[in-house]
């Protein structure tokens, strides 16, 4: 009989329960691969189990309780006791990752976290292992299944944001409180982790500006369709002028971009490098079974341990002002010369128009355009000037546009 490999499980919610079931189903197959029979030997919840007892009777700890505390304390104590740890806690890693990885190295244990980003999509492993020798230039990611489902529903069925969110909650893609998802904070935590791995420089959640999808309207989606664009919540991490920029915001994509066709609750990540041009990883990003599968993969890897996450090798500056193309939409008086005056103000800030639509609306008009890339500070300066013009009836709405397309 193979020797038992003892797994302590912290948290027994949707992912924790799915993980325990999957581990039991796959235990014999894992024993064949590793020579060890994994078994959950203790479970900690608010009303069940004692951490110290679970730690003493485990070879590895799986942390699935989420949040910062007590998760941080448990993970540190486990590694200090010489135990490998597997976690799916993106908020913890995006906030205290450097402390945790340093503790893992000091105690010669592994801290694995594939399930923290993009569900079952193996982007962590690809960055740490398959592309360890590549000089990554840029990552674009759809890393939140909830928002991708909502935006897909708005585009597919013409649903309002509120209606699409309600549908996501009914299907279990959105939590009762979806704040972290729809505001972009969840995606920002995940992009901080990806940027840390891609660029080997410290990146924390508070360094990642993020915007959500709460203010996206069905009208935005309809106009985008007329302009040949699709709307996604995009996380970006890229090298800029010797530093890096990491950010999350809604963005329009042209059909040739590999993320443009990623719909529903799926996640996807594109990785760009001179050595590889571009690769895209895609798969289910939401759901207990999917995340549990990624967690189990980490457990198996820890049972046959490779090196842990190395120290950072660079200290790159965070670049805040970057170039972007933009979609700009506003209600204006339906009178001659409006477009020319708007174009003149935009031009004064270095903004040029790529495409434009204008539709009459009972005495006023909806003016919608896509602008060529320019520095965000100059664009928003131009928007402030435009918003003060007498013929503008509503605050202009802006959404970024990602122009890259791949053959």
Confidence of residue 405 (pLDDT cuts 50, 70, 90): low
In the chain, pLDDT over 70 holds for what percent of residues?
98
Per-residue pLDDT tens digits for 149-183: 999 999 988 899 999 999 999 988 888 899 999 99
pLDDT of residue 328: 93
pLDDT of residue 335: 84
Q: Is the pLDDT of residue 216 over 80?
A: yes
Q: List the domain boundaries for the chain.
A: 4-116, 123-283, 323-402
Does 249 belong to an annotated binding site? Answer: no
Of 253, 224, 261, nearest to 355 by C-alpha is 224
Q: Under the phi-then-psi rule, with left for phi > 0, alpha for psi from -120 to 50, and beta for the rest, what region is 298?
A: alpha
Average pLDDT on 50-62 reads: 97
Average pLDDT on 202-231 reads: 92
Average pLDDT on 212-221 reads: 92
Q: Is the pLDDT of residue 287 over 80?
A: no
Does 83 belong to an annotated binding site? Answer: no
Q: Is the pLDDT of residue 392 over 80?
A: yes
**Domain 323-402 belongs to what architecture?**
2-Layer Sandwich (3.30)
Does 280 belong to an annotated binding site? Answer: no
Residue 129, CA distances (Å) to 166, 307, 334 in order: 39, 10, 58
pTM > 0.95: no
**Domain 4-116 belongs to what architecture?**
3-Layer(aba) Sandwich (3.40)
Does 175 belong to an annotated binding site? Answer: yes
- Which residue in the list 83, 190, 232, 354 is annotated as catalytic? 190
The mean pLDDT of the chain is 92
Average pLDDT on 339-358 reads: 90
Q: For residue 159, how many other CB atoms are within 10 A of its CB? A: 19
Confidence of residue 205 (pLDDT cuts 50, 70, 90): very high
**How do beta strands 3-10 and 60-63 pair?**
parallel
Nearest-angstrom CA–CA distance, 271 and 46 = 40
Does 13 belong to an annotated binding site? Answer: yes
CATH number of 123-283: 3.30.360.10
Q: Is the pLDDT of residue 289 over 90?
A: no
| 232 classed as catalytic | no
Does 16 belong to an annotated binding site? Answer: yes
């Amino acid at each position: 009989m193979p020797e038992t490999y003892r797994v302590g499980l912290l948290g027994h919610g949707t992912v924790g329960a799915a993980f325990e079931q999957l581990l039991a189903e796959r235990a014999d197959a894992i024993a064949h691969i590793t020579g060890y029979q994994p078994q959950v030997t203790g479970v900690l919840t608010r009303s069940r189990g004692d951490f110290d007892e679970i730690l003493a009777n485990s070879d590895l700890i799986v942390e699935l309780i989420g949040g910062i505390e007590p998760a941080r304390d448990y993970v540190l104590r486990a590694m200090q006791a010489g135990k490998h740890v597997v976690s799916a806690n993106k908020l913890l890693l995006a906030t205290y990752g450097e402390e945790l990885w340093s503790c893992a190295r000091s105690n010669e244990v592994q801290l694995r976290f594939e399930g923290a980003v993009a569900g079952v999509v193996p982007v962590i492993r690809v960055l740490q292992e398959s592309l360890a020798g590549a000089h990554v230039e840029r990552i674009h990611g759809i890393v939140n299944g909830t928002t991708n489902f909502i935006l897909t529903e708005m585009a597919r069925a013409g649903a309002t944001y509120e209606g699409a969110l309600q549908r996501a909650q009914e299907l279990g893609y959105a939590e009762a409180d979806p704040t972290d998802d729809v505001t972009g904070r969840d995606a920002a935590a995940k992009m901080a982790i990806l940027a840390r791995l891609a660029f080997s420089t410290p990146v924390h959640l508070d360094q990642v500006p993020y915007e959500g999808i709460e203010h996206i309207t069905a009208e935005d989606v309809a106009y985008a369709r007329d302009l040949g664009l699709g709307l996604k919540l995009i996380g970006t991490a890229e090298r800029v002028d010797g530093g890096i920029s990491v950010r999350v915001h809604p963005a329009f994509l042209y059909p040739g971009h590999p993320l443009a066709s990623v719909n529903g609750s799926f996640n996807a990540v594109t990785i760009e490098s001179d050595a590889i041009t571009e690769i895209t990883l895609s798969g289910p990003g939401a759901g207990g079974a999917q995340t549990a599968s990624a967690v189990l993969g980490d457990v198996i890897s820890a049972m046959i341990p490779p090196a842990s996450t190395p120290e950072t090798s660079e200290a790159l500056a965070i670049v805040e002002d970057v170039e972007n193309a933009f979609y700009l939409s506003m209600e204006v008086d339906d009178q001659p010369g409006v477009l020319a005056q708007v174009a003149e103000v935009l031009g004064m800030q270095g903004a040029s128009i790529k495409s434009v639509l204008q539709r009459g609306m009972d005495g006023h008009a909806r003016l919608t355009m896509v602008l060529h890339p320019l520095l965000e500070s100059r664009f928003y300066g131009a928007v402030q000037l435009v918003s003060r013009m007498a013929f503008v009836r509503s605050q202009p709405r802006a959404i970024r546009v990602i122009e890259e397309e791949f053959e």
